[in-house]
Amino acid sequence: MTTDNEMVLVSVVVACSRHPEVLGRAVESVAKEDHREFEVLVCGECWTAGRAETVERLAVRPLPFHVDRVGVELNRALAECEGAFVVFLEANERLLPDALRAGVESLHAHPESAVAVGRHRRIRADGSVVAEAEPSRPITTDSYLELLRGEYTVDVPAALLYRREALVAAGAFDASLDASLHFDLCARILKDSPACFHGVLIAEHRSDRSEPEAAARFSSSLRVLRSHRKHLVGNRHYSDAYRAGVRHLARNLGLETFEELRRDLRRREWGRAGSSGRAVIRYLATLLRRHPLGLLPVVVACLGPPVTRRSSWARRIERCTARSLHGAQTTSLHRLREAARTRVPPHATVVVVGGADSEQLRLDGRRVVPLALGGQVPPGGDDGSGPAARGLVTRLDSLRAEGAEFALVPNWAFWWLDYYCPDFKRYLDAGADRVWADQHCMIYRLPAPTSSPARRALVAGFFSFRRGAATAGDLLARDVTCDWLDDAGLPYDVAVAPPFVGGVDWRAVDPRRYSHLIFVCGPFLEDPGQRALLGRFPHCRLVGLNLSMLAPGGRNPFDVLLERDSPDTGRPDITLCSSSPKVPVVGFCLREHAEGTREAHAAIRRLLNGREMAVVEIDTRLDANTTGLRSAAEVESLLARMDVVVTTRLHGMVLALRNGVPVIAIDPQPGGQKIRRQAETIGWPLVFSGEALTDESLQEAFSFCLTPAAREAARECADAGAEALRQVRLAFTGAL
C-alpha cells in the first residue's frame, strides 16, 4: 500500500560553488534513496554537458546562475523547486539511502516542527570514516536556545530536512553571508518554530580543502550570533545561552583561526593571511570581552608550535585550556546549586541524574542521591528505547519508592541523556512536574509513589498512528489480543488514531497509568513513530505479539517477543483465532446520471452508510465498465454472490432475482417506468419510485432482504417469470 509519506515530493538542492569534481557523488547518492518522490536541482557553474547521462536519468534541473554568493544561488533554487520538503547538499556531501524517508516520516509525525534533524559523519577522500559526529541534542523544549548555546546542528546541511513553507516564511538565505548561511537560516526559523530529532544516520561529509577556512567560519558565525542580540533582551535563559555560544565559538574556531594565520604566513599567502589576521583581531576582542581567562591558552598557541603536532607543547596547551575553563565550570556549578536551593524545600531528597556525588553538590541539609549514567549503554550503542532508558526508569522508580522527592538533571548530563536515553527524558516530562529549567540544570518534582502499582495494559499497533496503513488483519489481531487480555483478567486500553475510534491517544495519556505495552501485528520497523511510542512508556513491560522481525541480527526492544516470523522462528498468524461476526455483502448497481437519479443515488448511499456491511460496486455496462468486469457471465456471477442488491438498473434487478438474491429496486423516473413495471409484472414487492423514497422505507426493506423469506420470495419471482416466458417463446417461434 502506498502511504501519504511516500507521495510527498522532496526537493534536493545541490550547491556546487566549491569542489565541483565530487558533485557527481552527491547527485548519485540521491538516486539510491528509499523515498522515490524527489527532484534534484543543481545550482552553480559546474554542471557541465559531460554529465548529461546523469541529468537525463535523474531528471536533474541545472540552474547555472552567474552570481558570486552561494546564498543567492540557493534562494533562486528555492524559488524554482516544487517539493513540500527541501534538503540542501554541498558538493562534498552525500545522503545515505534512508535519509529522505526518515526525514519525511519525522516531519509527518511532528506537524508542528519546521525542521527534521538527523545524524551525520565525516569521511576521508578514500571513503574511510574520520569520526561519527555527535548529533545535536534531540531538542524537545527550545531548539533556538540550543543554537545560541553552540549546538550547531547545521554544520552539515544535508543532516536537516526543512519544510518549504518554513523556509519561505523565514525569508530564506541571507545572501550577504557565506560560510554560516545555513546556521543563520536555521536560527531564524527555530526562533519561532520547533525542530524534531529522529536520530537516524543520514549524511556523510567528505573532509577536503573545499571547506571554508576557520577564519571565515568564525567571522560569519560571530556575525550570526550578534544579529540575534535583539531577540535576547529580557530573557535571561537566552542571554546565558548566547554567552555560552560565544565561548563555544571561541574555543572551537578561535585556535583554528590562529593556526590558519600561522600557516598562511609560512606559505607567504599574504592575501589569505590578511583575512585571517582580521579574524584574529575580532576573535581576540570578543574573547577579551566575553571570556578573558581563555586568552592565556590562545597566547601560548600563537607563540608555540602548531597544535596539530602532538608534542609536549600541544599537551601543555590542552592542560592550560582545561584550567582556563575551570572558572566557567565553577560558575555553572554555583548556579546549579542556587537553582536547587531556591526550588527544592529543605530536608528534601534529591536524585542527581549524572552521578554527581553528594560532596560536590552540598545543598544545605538536602539529601543528594546520585543516579549514575555510566555503564548503562550496551555494546553497539542504544537508540534511547532499549535497556538504557528502562534501566534508568527502574532505578528512579525504586529511589522514588524510597522517598526521593525531586530529580535534578545537571547540564553535564544533558547531551548523554538526549543522545542515548531520550525516552528517559520524555518519561520525566510526562510523569513529573518540571519546576525549573535553564542551561545549567532541570529540576523535576517526582510524583508520590503509589502503595499498589496499577496493572493495566495499553494495546498498540499500526492502528495507533495517523496514516499508519493499518489493515483488516491488524484490527482482527487487535481484537484477538483484547480477548486474550479479558481471559487473563488484565484491564487494558487500545491506542487508536483517526479514523479509528473507541480508544485512547497514546500521546495524551498518563504513562504511569500502564504497566504493560503490547505492540500487535505487522512488521516491526522501528521507524520514528514506533520509537516514539516505545519511548513514551519506558517503564512498561514491552510485549511484541504477532510481529514480523525479518532483519537478520536486528535489535529486539521487547521484554517478551512472540513473533509471527523471524530468521529463527515461525508461528501461525493469530487472526486464525478471530471470531469476528460476518456482515452482509451488498452489491449496488447504479444507472448513469439521468432525471431523478441524483436523489435516488443519495438515498442509496445514506442506506449503505447507515449500518455495517461490505459494499461491492457492480457496473452492468460492458462497453466502458468501471469495475473491471469484461463479460455478461462475470457481471451475473458477481450479482449471484451478493446477500442483497440495491439498484437503479433494470437488469441489475432481474439478474439478481434470477439467482435468488433479494433486491431493493428504485425507479428514478417520476411516477416509475420500466423498473417499476417489470417488478410489478414478475411480482417483486420491493420497488420504489424516486419521489416517494424515504430513508425509513429503505431501512425496513433492507432488513427484510436479510431474511430467509426474502430469498424464497426472490426464487418464486424468478420461477414465475420463467414460466410466463415459455408462452413468449412459443409465440416467437410461431411467428418465425
pLDDT at residue 518 above 90?
A: yes
For 604, the grid coordinates are 442509496
pLDDT digits (tens, 9 = 90+) for 245-271: 766 666 555 555 666 677 777 777 777
pLDDT (0 to 100) of residue 609 = 83
Q: How confident is the model at residue 520 (pLDDT cuts 50, 70, 90)?
A: very high
Predicted pLDDT of residue 86? 93
Over 50: is that where the pLDDT of 40 sits?
Answer: yes
Interval 321-378: pLDDT, tens: 444 444 444 555 677 777 887 888 888 889 888 754 444 566 777 888 888 775 444 3
| pLDDT surpassing 60 at residue 496 | yes
Task: Kindly report the three-state secondary structure assignment for every residue of 160-172.
Answer: EEEEHHHHHHCCC
CA angle 350, 354, 360 (to 5 degrees): 65
Q: In this predicted model, what pLDDT tens digit does every residue of 270-287 receive, in sequence order?
A: 777 777 677 667 666 655
Nearest to 353 by CA among 403, 430, 419, 428: 428
- Cβ contact 705:662 at 8 Å: yes
| 3-state DSSP assignment of residue 323 | helix
The arithmetic mean of pLDDT across residues 670-686, rounded, is 84
Q: Which residue's entry shows cell 575580532?
A: 282
The angle subtended at Cα 104 by Cα 103 and Cα 106, nearest 5°, is 65
Q: Which among 261, 165, 173 is positioned nearest to 219, based on CA atoms?
A: 261
Q: pLDDT at position 483, please?
A: 93
Residue 729 has pLDDT above 70, yes or no: yes
**Angle 13-17-21 from CA coordinates, rounded to 5°:** 95
* Predicted local distance difference test score (pLDDT) of residue 150: 67
Closest CA to 634 of 622, 616, 646, 647: 622
- pLDDT for 310 equals 38
pLDDT score recorded for residue 696: 86
- Are the C-beta atoms of residues 601 and 590 closer than 8 Å to each other? yes
Please give, one letter per residue, the 3-state secondary structure of 673-692.
CHHHHHHHHHCCCCEEEHHH
- What angle do helix axes 597-609 and 695-705 make, rounded to 10 degrees? 60
Per-residue pLDDT tens over the stretch 152-185: 566 678 888 999 888 888 888 887 777 778 888 8
Please give the pLDDT value at position 383.
43
Q: Which residue has the cell 518522490?
A: 37
User: Which pLDDT score, from 0 to 100, does residue 358 have?
Assistant: 44
What is the predicted pLDDT for the residue at 463? 94
Strand order from edge to edge, sheet including 441-445: 367-371, 349-353, 406-410, 441-445, 433-437
Whole-number pLDDT of residue 71: 79
Mean pLDDT of 614-636: 87
Q: Quote the mean pLDDT of the chain.
A: 76
Q: What is the mean pLDDT of residues 43-72?
A: 60
Average of per-residue pLDDT across 102-130? 80
Q: What's the pLDDT at 723? A: 87
pLDDT in tens, 62-113: 776 555 567 788 888 888 888 889 998 887 788 888 889 889 988 888 888 8
For residue 39, pLDDT over 80 is answered with yes
Mean pLDDT of 122-130: 68
pLDDT value for 475 = 93
Predicted pLDDT of residue 203 = 87
- Three cell numbers, residue 718: 424468478
Could you say which DSSP state residue 250 is in?
Answer: I
On the 0-12 / 13-18 / 19+ scale of CB atoms within 10 A, 627 is: middle
Helical pair 236-249 and 214-227, crossing angle rounded to 10 deg: 170
Residue 465: CB partners within 8 Å, gap ≥ 6? 109, 497, 529
Contacts of 341 (CB under 8 A, 6+ apart): 363, 364
Dihedral sign for Cα atoms in the order 708, 713, 714, 716: positive
213 or 322, which is more confident? 213
**315 vs 373, more confident:** 373
> For residue 526, which amino acid is it?
E
The confidence score (pLDDT) of residue 314 equals: 43
Pairwise pLDDT comparison (6 vs 723), residue with the higher score? 723
Cβ–Cβ under 8 Å, residues 218 and 279: yes
User: Which has more pLDDT, 158 or 450?
Assistant: 158
Per-residue confidence band for 519, with pLDDT thresholds at 50, 70 and 90: very high
**685 contacts 705 by C-beta, under 8 angstroms:** no
User: Does residue 735 register a pLDDT over 70?
Assistant: yes
